[in-house]
């Protein structure tokens, strides 16, 4: 993949094993700029303190302290030009009210 090493990625997952495995896979693909966090609050602090706009955010939606949707809502508020694509399992998309997704500036999503 061309220019994958130029991307800024955020990986947000409260399960440390899953987070580390995902980061390892991304590094194997050539991604070099990866910020990681275990919940939305921690990741917001990292993003704001480093002042780096993420190109891609991979996040768990169900986490303690601040869930993934609240994180995306706040991130979208900080970066008005941020484009969001939400990939979720079908059961999650069925349980998420469309109004809550729209508050996160997610107007279209793909459920697998």
The domain segmentation of the chain, as residue ranges, is 4-86
Q: Structure tokens of 101?
A: 């997704």
Q: Structure tokens of 96?
A: 């998420």
**Mean predicted confidence (pLDDT) in 2-24:** 89
Query: Percentage of the chain surpassing pLDDT 90?
Result: 20
Higher pLDDT, 35 or 89: 35
Most distant CA atoms of the chain, gap in Å: 37
Other C-beta atoms closer than 10 Å to the C-beta of 29 total: 9
Helices 40-50 & 68-78, crossing angle to 10 degrees?
A: 20
Q: Is the full-model pTM beyond 0.85?
A: no
Higher pLDDT, 14 or 73: 14
Other C-beta atoms closer than 10 Å to the C-beta of 2 total: 6
CATH class of 4-86: alpha beta
């Amino acid at each position: 993949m061309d220019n994958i090493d130029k991307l800024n990625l955020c990986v947000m997952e409260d399960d440390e094993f899953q987070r580390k495995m995902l980061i390892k896979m991304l590094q194997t693909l050539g991604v070099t700029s990866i910020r990681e966090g275990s919940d939305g609050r921690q990741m917001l602090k990292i993003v704001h303190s480093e002042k780096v706009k993420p190109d891609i955010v991979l996040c768990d939606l169900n986490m303690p302290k601040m869930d993934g949707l609240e994180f995306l809502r706040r991130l979208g508020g900080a970066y008005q030009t941020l484009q969001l694509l939400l990939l979720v399992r079908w059961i999650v998309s069925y349980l998420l009210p469309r109004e809550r997704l729209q508050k996160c500036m997610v107007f279209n999503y793909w459920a697998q």
